[in-house]
Structure 1
């Protein structure tokens, strides 16, 4: 497969880095900030990122388990976040081949419908279980996550951009 023009060849990702990044995102989501509906869901954002860049390592099973953790933390209907995260992972599995060919802002625009759909699934499950409508501020969360996509991509791909170990016999 040919690389897009101007795109550098990345080194393989360390599986421990994926685990650490998801645990840090979960820890950020577990901070006691109160449940403000416009705050971005960092686990959702990182699951989307790793679902696009490492679909064989981060899939629906991990998304479902992290969703159950979020449901327990927020005392939400068990499976509400899990279903939303699994829906997101299904969407990322559909576009993971074409998304790396785009620029960061084009990727963010491609991710906006998936992030909005995940939040919509979460809202529909909440409303179907008798919850109250949180208001139109809920629309801001997918927009903020879309704006965070280029920053997340830059930070999470940085360890893969490091130069390989230098060797006297290797010219590159």
Structure 2
């Protein structure tokens, strides 16, 4: 793949860092659900955000299977209908993998605008499964969650790409 001018060549992603960030996002989601607001409809889904990030940047390592397993974990933790989050995370991961080659050519703020429909689709799937199972409508505050997730995209991009941007062996004579 041809690199765009002005972009730094990244180191390979450490698999332990990838899986550690996913587990950390799962734990943050669990803490967020038990926190002050509980399971508020407007709260962003940090695990979905990190899943989309790694599905775009490392589709060989994080795919639909990992999204399904993490979705089952979230379903069990929240006491939701088994498969609700698993279905939305798998669709989210599939859509992220489908657009990952095109998305990486854009700058990060533009990427945030382009992943917004993915987050809207994931929340719509989870909402429709909840409503079909007889759950109540959480309110229109639910529309804020995908917006907040797309606004967090640049922050997550900077944080999760930090370990790959460091130089392996700094040298004054090495251009890369």
Task: State TM-score, norm by structure 1.
Answer: 0.96
- Give runs of ≥4 in structure 1 deviating > 2 Å: none
Note the alpha carbon deviations across 1:89-108, whole angstroms, 9 max, x for none: 11011110011110111000
Match for residue 70 of structure 1 among 74, 77, 94? 74
* Pairs within 5 Å for 1:132-151: 132-151=136-155
**1:149 Cα deviation after fit:** 0.1
| 1:171 equivalent in alignment to 2:174 | yes
How far apart in 1 are the matches of 2:111 and 2:73?
Answer: 28
Deviations 1:62-91 (A, max 9, x none): 100000000001100000000000000110
C-alpha displacement of 1:167:
6.0
Q: What secondary structure does 1:30 align onto?
A: helix
1:4 aligns with 2:4: yes
TM-score (norm 2): 0.94
Distance 1:52 1:68 in 2: 21
Please identify, of 2-11 and 151-160, the stretch whose mean Cα deviation from structure 2 is larger.
Answer: 2-11
CA distance in 2, matches of 1:23, 1:151: 18
Q: Residue 90 of structure 1: which of 62, 70, 94 is its match?
A: 94
Q: Distance in 2 between matches of 1:171 and 1:104?
A: 27
SS in 1 for 2:74: helix
Instruction: Give the match for residue 122 of structure 1.
Output: 126
- What is the alpha-carbon distance in structure 2 between the residues aligned to residue 84 and residue 22 of structure 1? 16
Aligned residues: 171
Output the CA distance in 2 between the equivalents of 1:7 and 1:140. Answer: 32
Q: CA RMSD in A?
A: 1.2
For 2:87 and 2:111, locate their aligned partners in 1 and report how far apart those are by CA, in whole Å.
23
Give structure 2 stretches of 5+ with no counterpart.
none
Query: What is the distance in 1 between the residues matched to 2:15 and 2:163?
Result: 12
Matched residue, 1:29: 29
Q: Is 2:105 aligned against 1:112?
A: no
Give yes or no for the alignment of 1:162 onto 2:166.
yes
